[in-house]
Every structure is written in structure tokens, then in C-alpha cells.
Structure 1
Amino acid sequence: MMMHHLPAAPMSQVLPSQREDIQRPIQRWPARVVYPIITLPREITSEIFLHCLPPAPDFSSKLVFPHPSFDLDENPELKADPYPHNPRPSEAPFLLLQVCSAWRSIALVTPRLWTHLHLNLADINYFSFYPDLEEFIADWFTRAGSCPLFFSGNWSSIAASSASASLNTTLLRYAPRLRNLALQLHEQQLGELGALAAPFPLLEKLAISISFPASQLRTFPDFFCGMPRLKELYLNMVPSMFSIPWAQLTKFACGNVDNLANVFHAAPLLTDLTCSISEDSHELATDITHARLQTLCLVNRSSGHFLPRLLLPSLQTLHLKDGEELYDDLLPFLALSATSLRTFSSFGLPIAPLALDWFSAMPNLTHVTVYAPPPDFAAPFFARLDRAQDSTFLPHLHFLAFVYSSFNLTPPMLHALSSRCTGGDAVAKLHTFMQVWPTGFVRTLGKATIATLQQLVEQGMQIHVGPAEV
């Protein structure tokens, strides 16, 4: 039997009593649904929101030396962007405001969600996002309540120059609450910044980078005077331009140092130093000892003539980037300061064959990263690495990385890695091996190589061989 379905009558033709019967369950339906996350205490929801925030960028030395060779964590961030990014609607905290009214109200009264603000005004779209920049910044930091603030911004582009007034206003308004400040500026803005002379009583970390040489820039003797808590300072300018509070600094990075001895004498608390040494710097007249320095990064054009007179008994990390001047003087330096060294990296140095002597002079290394090794370096290095051939070479090595390298993993090299899969009281087990290929490099690993690497993984070694992970 065929059934005929009559079209439903429009709501306007339904009797009032019938309309109420239809609408009543629809109106009650949201009240009957209880989402478990809505029932959480507000304090717990706020804490969950904090874990949704994107990682805060670390601008420190990246603003001074924007090169991936200094992203030297155990997993190098080869595509790190040294510049701030703008808040995105697709990320917390903005995203949390768009989910529901309950989340919005919680996010707006969670101060720690709004303590970090990173603006890249070189982005040509920033005018559409922030037509009134001062009001946007004020709204953001007002939600932070009385919490200390972390602020960074790129004002160096021509497009951003019209927003210079907003930067000065922001710094004057929030100077008493700023704990971290990172700015990329052009030369004129740096002059205006020095003229502010605002006190920053809570500021602990400051990074300033200018996009053009400040050869004609006058000095600002009072610029750092209102920073009694400043511990970390990062500049891409010559430090002699400023009256720097050396005695309180623990970390310092700059574009060029013309007298390393003066820095060490003036900064007795220094633990981390990243710099380039002037090519025309003179050899040290006397030996210099710095008891606290733990990390030393020498960057491009660095003159190495001072190294043999330098004694760093607490040095744990040594990074070298470019500079053939370092080549001949490194070994006598290591003979004095390598006892406590644990981490070593090099980029752009002519490391073979003398580099094997360098590593022999650093017997306590646990982490080694070599960027762009020359073709003739890998084979002799792995030959020494094989414990069956030399049990005294780098006995404590945990982490080994070759970045921007394209050498073939030969059977002797794989055998050397296999010899490092076991450890003991006197020797360590190699936990991580990385060979990151150059950009655009393509290679197919042989089946035997893959099988050996898989065996090493099954024995507990973390391995990455291939292009950089995005």
C-alpha cells in the first residue's frame, strides 16, 4: 500500500496550544545538557587555560645573532624565527574568548593569560588588526592585573615607524611592571628610547637590536641607571656606547667587544657570554681568570689571540661560530679550561683534521653538535668514536648531532654507533644521534643502514637521520 506524506503545516498555521507543545522541549533542552568541563572549579579551568598558551619566544641572543646555529637545545630548532609574532585569533588566549560565554568570562579574569605580549609591527597586516595600537596594548595589559609583564616588539620597519609614539607611551606607562623587554628598533627610535630615561624597577632581562649600524648614535649614560634588577642584557651594538651596570649582570650578549679583559673585570657575576671579538683587538698582556663563567659563545670574525691567556675553570658550554682566527689558539685554551666542559658546538670552522685533537682535549664532553662538517671529517671522527678502536675518546658522550651534513653512514660508522649502545661505570651510553640533512638534500638510505639504525632504536638510542623536522 502506498503511503502519502502530507507537507507539514507552517508554524504560522499551527494552533497556539500546539506551538507551545513544540517549543517547550526545545527551550528546555540546553538546560538538560551538562558539559563536564563547565562543572570544573574556575581555578582549575584557569590553570588549564594557562597550559593552552603558545610557547613564549626567547629573544635573548637571537635578536643579536639570528642564526640557527645557536638554537642548541638537544633538539635544535632549525627553523626558529628570532622575531616576535602577533597574537593570533586561532591561539590562546584569544581562542579561549570565542568558545563560550563561560570560558570568555574565566579567561578575562585570569591575569596570567595576559602577561606576555609579542608584536611584530613589520607585519603589513598589523594596521587591520590593531588600528589603535595604544588602546590594544592597554586592554591587553589591563587584564594582567598587577602581574609582572613580558613585552617584545619589532618596530624596525618603515611601516612601523608611524607607531613610534605608541612604543614610547607603552614603555612609560608600564615601565614599573615590566620584567622582560625585547625590542627591535631602527636607529632613530633608539635615540628616542634613550631620551625616555624611565625607571624599570622590576626589569630583569633586556634585549635591544637595531636594524642599521649606530655609528652616528650618541651615547646614553643614564639609560640603564633605573634598572636595579637587570641580570640579562642582549645588544647588537658596541657596549661602550652605554653605561652598562656590569657588576650585576649574569648573562650578556653583544655584537662586538673591543676589550674582553674589561668585560671580565667589570662583570664578576657573569655566567653566560655571547660576543664577537674585534679583529683588531690586542693580545692580552696578562692572564685573565673568570671564576663564574659557564657558557662562552664566540661568533664570527672573532679574534682568538686572547684565548691562550684566558682561564675559565667553571666553563661548561663552548659554542664557536666561524672565524679562522680561532683555529690555532683553541687547543692551548682547551688545555687550561676544558676540565669542566660538557657541551661543545662549532659552525663554519675548518675543523678537520685538528678537530680530533680538540675533542681529545675535552674528555668530559656529554653533548657535541657539529654544523656543516667538511667531507673529510666524518670518517676519522667515527673511527675514533668506535670504542673497539679507542675507549678513551669522549667516554661520557650522551648526545651527538651533525647538522647540515650529507655524508654517507658507512658500515664502520654504524659499527661505531653500535659500540656506544652500552655504558658502564667509566663510560656512558650514547642516548641520541642526529644527522640533519641540508635544505633540499634528498637521499634514500639503504636497507642494511635502515636495519642497523632500527636495531639501535630498539636498544634505546634516539635517532634522527634525514631532513630537519618541522
Structure 2
Amino acid sequence: MSHPLRKRLAELDREIASKRRKLFKLEKTRSAVETELHAAATYPILTLPVEITAEIFLWLRDLQPLCVPRCQMSGTIAVAGVCRAWRAIALATPRLWSNLRINFDGIEHEAVLKPLWVECFIDKWISRSRNCPLSLDFQSRSVLHFTESRLRHILRRYSTRIQTLSLDLGSRDLRPLRFDSAAFPLLEKVYLQYHSNPDEDVDFPRPMTIFANAPRFRELNMQWSQLDTTLLALPWSQLTKFQGRIKNLDLFALASNLVEVKCALFPNEGVSSTTLITHHNMKILILDNDCNLIQHLALPSLQHLDIAKMDNHELLEPFLKRSSPPLASLSMQALKGPTGNCFNRLCECMALVASTLEDVKLCNVPEDLKGISTISGIFPNLRSLQISLRNTDHESGLAKLLDFLYSPRCTLRACKFLWARSPFLDRRAFAGTLRGTHTHKVDTISGHLARLVQGGMSVYIGTEDKNYLVG
């Protein structure tokens, strides 16, 4: 009875052995074909010079912030894990590892509790940068995740190599970091962000001394909502660039070598109406909130003025009179008043700097372009003009615009006119062919503008999203 079963079992064993021999031969053949394929195949990306590949990696580095322990999400780690060739290039490019961005609040609590786990990761990362100057960007708003003492030890360990430092500590005090006891010989740029608790009174009984031993310190970006800048003992005289919110005008008195300032004055109740500070080195002033600050300043070296909100045009003229600056660039909201055209009022003020003004940008102009012709001939060096209009009469405005652009006195090389809605450029107009000639021709608005472009002028006319001059 069992004989047939044994016979059947033996047949199955022989068949399985035969199949295994065939499978072994197929696998061997496949391996040979795969080897031949890899030898013959050429990947264009791998043919790039190592230097170009390294530069591409540097661009990719900043695409994704690093967050420990999910470090595999960073651009640097990603490219290093693609293949052996890329990993070798990444590890041989020290600059690729000189930037480190960490959100300590995003680290899993279990990882933080491991002794020196985070510190070892940072050490390993920075060791690959060799001797390159470092750019460190740390966010640590919660003391429960990462204490000030641990952060202080990290900063002290690498203080002699830090070139750019960015810190966002929420509402945590900076004092425990002890910046005054560390040397930062390469430090140039600092970004400090502070979020004060509106339910708590911020009280610093004594000024915080920070970066006293940073001889190259030049740029400060300080986004602190309610902290007076005078409560910081900084090497103010070293600063050449500042960005942030200020509560008074002491910055302009303390930092006498400032060249560029972008600031907002919050609040300004504590500034006396008679306060006036003359700053001789400032060349660029960008005001984020309003124009009230300029009534307290005289800036004889100013070259660029950008005012986000120009709600009092009466402040501009006295500012320009007492400053007499070589102003080359002006950007602001349109001047408003009870009577008169905004262009006329602008020209009256700008006549004080007409000989040097090259670029003008006016935003949110409420009137049409009928007064634009007043600009011609007043500004002999005007090269670029940008105007953003609202409630504009397209019919009369576009005709006046053509007269202005065709005028022999128009010195513009580039102009940009933005409407709140799409302009109608198919209307036919009777205007000159090219500036400086007396020949006139009937053509559409777009046709006239296209001919100006062919004559060498850069023209943009339309909305923020589309230039309707170019199809």
C-alpha cells in the first residue's frame, strides 16, 4: 500500500531538484546580465565634475531644516544617502556641514533624556565641517526639552568658529547663556527672537551684556516684541546693519556707524516731539510701520528711503530740507492730502533731491495718471519708475501715460504700472512714434508701448501677476 506513495514522493524530489538547478542557472544568468548592465549604463549626474556636484549639494542643503532626531529629512543627509559616490562627495565637502539648524523643541523627549545624545550628534555633524566658519540656527522655547545650561555648553564649545548665530528662545531669559563670558572672534551676524508673555511683566534689573568679545560683529536682527534695546549692553558702535522693533530712538544715538536700518517704532509715545538725532553714516532706511520716525532724524548721507505707510506727507519735506541727502531711491505709499494731485505734491517734495533721484516707487496711488507729465523734466537722472494705482480711469490715464513716455524729457529706462484690475490696451491713440521725434501715429495703446520697448525701454503694464504688454 505504501509503495506507490514512496514512488510518488521520489518523483517529486527529482522534479524539485531539477527545478532548483534551472532556478540556479537563471539566477546566475540574471546576475551576469545585471553586472553587464551596470558596467554599460551611464548616469549623466555622475559624470558632472565633483566641484559642480558639491555646489548643487550646497543649494539643496537649505531646502529642508534639520530636526533632531529626524535628521534624515535634512538636505545634507538626504544626498549623502543616495549612493556611495554622493556620500563620498558630501563627506569631502566641509562647507556642506557648516550650517546646522535644529529645533530642540521637536526632539523626542526620550532622546533628550539620553545623556549627551543630542550633543554627540551635533559634534559628529560639525566635525565634518573641519575648520569652516559655522552658521548655527537654534530654536528652543521650552526649557522642558532642552535646558539653558546644555545650550550654553554647545555654544561655548564652538564659539570661536561661529560666524552667524540665530536664536529663538521664546520668552526664556538670555542671561543663563552667559554670552559675556565667551569669545566670538568670527561672529558677524546675529538673529535674536524674543516672545514676551503679555500676562507677565518683563523686568530686567540690569542690562544684559552680550557679544562683548565679538570684534567682527556687524549685523543684528532683533525681533523682540516688548524689550527696550537699551537694556542690552551690546557693542553698538560696531553695528553697520540693524533690523527689528525699537521702542525709542537710542539705537540711532548708540550705533553711530549704522549704514542700513530696517525697523518699526513700537510704541512712540515716549519719544519727545522735539527730539532730533543726526546720523551721518546711514545710507539705507526702511520703515516697516509708518513715517513718524523721520520727524526725529536728520540723515545727510541717506541714499535709499523706503516707507511702508506714508500717512503724513507734511513730514517728508522738512526731513529732506534738514537732511539734504544724496537720495537715489525712494519707495513709499502715495502722498495724500485734502487737495491737489499726488504727483504735484510729490514733485514739490522731491525737488529737494531731484538732481540725485534715480528710482521712484509709489504704491496705492488713489488718482489717475493725469498729473504724471509733471515728472518730466524735473528729475534729470530718473531711470526707473513704478506706480501702483487703484480706482484708475484707464481711458484718460493710459493716454497721459503715453504722452509722458514719449516726451523728449523722459529719461526713464524702466517703468512699471500696476492696476488693481486688467488694463484695456486695445484703445487706439494718437501719439508720437519715438521719444525725441515729432512724428505722430495712430495705434493701439499696446502698439505704442511695444514700440517704446523696441526703442530700448523696459515697460511693464498690468497687474501684479501679468504684464499685459507682452503676450
Match of 2:238 among 241, 245, 248: 248
Aligned to 1:34: 42
Aligned to 2:458: 461
Does the C-alpha gap of structure 1 residues 338 and 198 become closer, same or farther in structure 2, counting only changes over 3 Å? same
Aligned to 2:329: 343
Identity of aligned residues (%): 26
Does the C-alpha gap of structure 1 residues 25 and 348 become closer, same or farther in structure 2, counting only changes over 3 Å? same
Report the TM-score when normalising by structure 1: 0.71
Does the C-alpha gap of structure 1 residues 368 and 48 become closer, same or farther in structure 2, counting only changes over 3 Å? same
Residue 25 in structure 1 maps to residue 21 in structure 2: no
Alignment RMSD: 4.1
Aligned to 2:307: 320
Residue 271 in structure 1 maps to residue 228 in structure 2: no
Q: What amino acid is the match of 1:280? A: G
Aligned to 2:84: 101
Does the C-alpha gap of structure 1 residues 24 and 322 become closer, same or farther in structure 2, counting only changes over 3 Å? closer
Structure 1 residue 265, shift from structure 2 partner: 4.8
Does structure 2 retain, via aligned residues, the 8 Å contact 1:321–1:349? no
Q: Map 1:398-409 onto structure 2 (within 5 A).
A: 398-402=383-387, 406-408=390-392
Q: How many residues align?
A: 410
| Structure with larger Rg | 2
Does the C-alpha gap of structure 1 residues 412 and 180 become closer, same or farther in structure 2, counting only changes over 3 Å? farther
Aligned equivalents of 2:228, 2:88: Cα separation in 1: 48
Aligned equivalents of 1:112, 1:409: Cα separation in 2: 55
Does structure 2 retain, via aligned residues, the 8 Å contact 1:247–1:269? yes
Aligned equivalents of 2:185, 2:66: Cα separation in 1: 26
Residue 215 in structure 1 maps to residue 235 in structure 2: no
Unaligned runs of 5+ in 1: 1-8, 57-83, 438-442
Aligned equivalents of 1:119, 1:170: Cα separation in 2: 12
Aligned to 2:6: none
Match of 2:169 among 185, 196, 210: 185
Unaligned runs of 5+ in 2: 1-16, 429-443, 467-471
Q: Map 1:142-291 onto structure 2 (within 5 A).
A: 142-156=127-141, 162-165=145-148, 167-194=151-178, 197-212=181-196, 215-235=202-222, 236=224, 237-260=227-250, 263-277=251-265, 278-284=268-274, 289-291=278-280
Aligned to 2:360: 368
Does the C-alpha gap of structure 1 residues 334 and 195 become closer, same or farther in structure 2, counting only changes over 3 Å? closer
3-state DSSP class of the match of 2:146? helix
Q: What amino acid is the match of 1:111? A: P
Does structure 1 retain, via aligned residues, the 8 Å contact 2:423–2:462? no
Structure 1 residue 301, shift from structure 2 partner: 6.4
Aligned equivalents of 2:464, 2:139: Cα separation in 1: 30
Q: Map 1:425-464 onto structure 2 (within 5 A).
A: 428-433=411-416, 435=418, 437=420, 443-446=421-424, 448=426, 452=445, 456=449, 459=453, 460-463=457-460
- Deviation readout 1:96-138 (Å, 9 max, x if unpaired): 224322112211221112222334567xx6649x876544443
Structure 1 residue 89, shift from structure 2 partner: 6.4
Q: What amino acid is the match of 2:458? A: M
Structure 1 residue 55, shift from structure 2 partner: 7.6
- Deviation readout 1:159-179 (Å, 9 max, x if unpaired): x76234453343222221111
